[in-house]
Amino acid sequence: MNSLSLAPEPDIGASRSAASGADVDEIFHLPIADDAWTDCSFSILLTRLSETRGEALELINRRYAWRGYGSDHRLSGRHNETTFCARKCDQLIGTVTLCADSDRGLAVEATFPEEMKFFRRKPNARLCELKKFAVDYNDDSKRILAAMFHFVFIYGTENFLGTDLFIEVNPRHIMFYERMLGFQKVGGLKTNTSVNAPSQLMWLSVERIPELIAAGNNRRNRHSLYNYFYNADQEGWIIDEMRLRGLAAYRLAAAE
């Protein structure tokens, strides 16, 4: 369990395009939880190509429509938003977008403006949110979700140094985010007018994430998604590769 194969060394950058710039996807071949590190059937992409974003949007609209949330959603592509896609055997199976705070604010503020004001008053607050989350469930769903969320958490920590992470969810999903990822409810239910559905604001203190990962590595909570997160060695390889590719802006700037 939780072992890192060092022979051969992980080749997580092997499929990166030779071209560089904003018009190529960044591809990371990774294991899922306890799989061998050299198993390259699973990958996570930082989506930049319109083709990949189109695939992600198709999945979002299909899954949202199935839940009754409409089928005309968009990915804005703003500079402060990063959309991640998970693939297994070349099939897109999950996507989520991480949004850092900007002068436009965060999407959750449209439904929860007063609640968010409280967090904005905190000293040195740096707010982020997760949105446009969709996944095709299968037998590996927990491990796939864990790999995707852990990768997003690493990327967010390396780039945004966020202090508070938010997500807006339908009430039927509250227990999942509480038990699986340690989010806490903020305030009561409101109506999200964009999908005409009840909504709950949920919050996770970023400084708690390492503690939750450590507890997951020790299997302290059988319900937790953190049980399937990467171990410290694997996380270190991912961070090193992000820095090698220049995908860790704040940490790199601080080190210079």
* pLDDT value for 220: 64
**Domains and their CATH numbers in the chain:** 26-237 (3.40.630.30)
112-164 residue pLDDT tens: 999 999 999 999 999 999 999 998 866 668 888 999 999 999 999 999 889 99
Q: What is the pTM of this model?
A: 0.85
As a whole number of angstroms, the distance between CA 180 and CA 215 comes to 12
164-169 vs 127-135, strand pairing mode: parallel
In the numeric block, which tokens belong to residue 34? Answer: 């306890």
202-256 residue pLDDT tens: 999 999 999 999 888 777 667 789 999 998 889 999 999 999 999 987 654 444 4
Which helix H or strand E contains 128, and what residues bound it?
Answer: strand 127-135
Amino acid at 235: E
Cα maximum dimension of the chain:
53
Say whether pLDDT at 16 is over 60: no
How many C-beta atoms lie closer than 10 Å to residue 43's C-beta? 19
In the numeric block, which tokens belong to residue 169? Answer: 């969810």
When pLDDT is averaged across residues 80-104 and rounded to a whole number, the result is 91
67-88 residue pLDDT tens: 777 767 778 777 889 999 999 8
When pLDDT is averaged across residues 44-65 and rounded to a whole number, the result is 87
Confirm if 56 and 85 have CB atoms less than 8 A apart.
Answer: yes
